[in-house]
């Protein structure tokens, strides 16, 4: 069987994951924490999915570096397992992130926010995890951001979601989204 060809370089995939994580985070911010006396579960899902995408952005950015595989592959939606893999691959461990990630991972992995379940797991206001979410997004952005410059060259300008290169002409200077690979 032939080896599959990657459509995009890992850095571009990583930036796409990170942009999507930020989209889910922004969508979550717009919602209330409690509705009709119970947690507003769609917001829980949006936040935990944003965390999963952010961690995967870091992992994807390192996929071609030949780094050691974890001793066990993280289960689907296992935020702690994915975070440990990212740490193994060079992401700095953050105590703010580690403080609440196990609880969020349990809820995300069991699809607790997506489907009613007989089992009861304590769930506080999702807003209590705002600092954790913001810190993880900042950590991954800081770690993946330099790869954007490396991939696009020294004239690149980073925004949280995109990488641009400087274009000049007709007496003006502007920044356009780069198409360089």
Q: What is the pLDDT of residue 6?
A: 56
Closest CA to 17 of 155, 119, 144: 144
For range 87-95, the mean pLDDT: 94
Q: What letter would DSSP give residue 110? A: T
The percent of residues above 70 in pLDDT, for the chain, comes to 67
Q: What is the pLDDT of residue 136?
A: 96
For range 84-102, the mean pLDDT: 93
pTM of the model: 0.75
pLDDT reading at 77 higher than 60: yes
User: Is residue 13 very low, low, confident or very high in pLDDT (cuts 50, 70, 90)?
Assistant: confident
Pair 77, 110: CB distance under 8 Å: no
For range 82-97, the mean pLDDT: 94
Q: What letter would DSSP give residue 89? A: T
For range 9-22, the mean pLDDT: 87
For range 59-81, the mean pLDDT: 79
Q: What is the pLDDT of residue 2?
A: 67
Q: Does domain 10-152 have CATH number 1.20.120?
A: yes
Pair 35, 71: CB distance under 8 Å: no
Q: What is the pLDDT of residue 178?
A: 41
pLDDT reading at 124 higher than 90: no
Q: What is the pLDDT of residue 9?
A: 75
Residues 12-32 as b/e (b if ≥16 CB within 10 A, e otherwise) read bbbbebbebbbebbeebeeee
Task: Say how far apart CA 47 and CA 112 lie, in whole Å.
Answer: 13
């Amino acid at each position: 069987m032939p080896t599959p060809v990657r459509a995009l370089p890992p850095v571009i995939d990583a930036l796409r994951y990170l942009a999507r994580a930020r989209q889910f985070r922004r969508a979550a911010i717009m919602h209330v924490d409690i509705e009709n006396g119970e947690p507003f579960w769609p917001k829980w899902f949006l936040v935990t999915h944003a965390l999963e995408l952010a961690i995967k952005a870091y992992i994807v950015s390192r996929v071609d570096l030949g780094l050691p595989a974890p001793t066990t592959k993280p289960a689907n939606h296992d935020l702690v397992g994915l975070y440990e893999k990212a740490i193994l691959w060079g992401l700095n461990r953050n105590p703010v992130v580690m403080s609440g990630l196990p609880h969020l991972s349990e809820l995300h992995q069991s699809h607790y926010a997506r489907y009613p379940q007989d089992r009861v797991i304590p769930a506080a206001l999702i807003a209590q995890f705002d600092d954790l979410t913001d810190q993880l997004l900042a950590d991954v952005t800081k770690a993946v951001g330099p790869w954007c410059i490396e991939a696009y060259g020294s004239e690149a300008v980073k925004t949280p979601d995109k990488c641009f290169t400087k274009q000049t002409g007709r007496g003006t200077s502007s920044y356009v989204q780069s198409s360089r690979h």
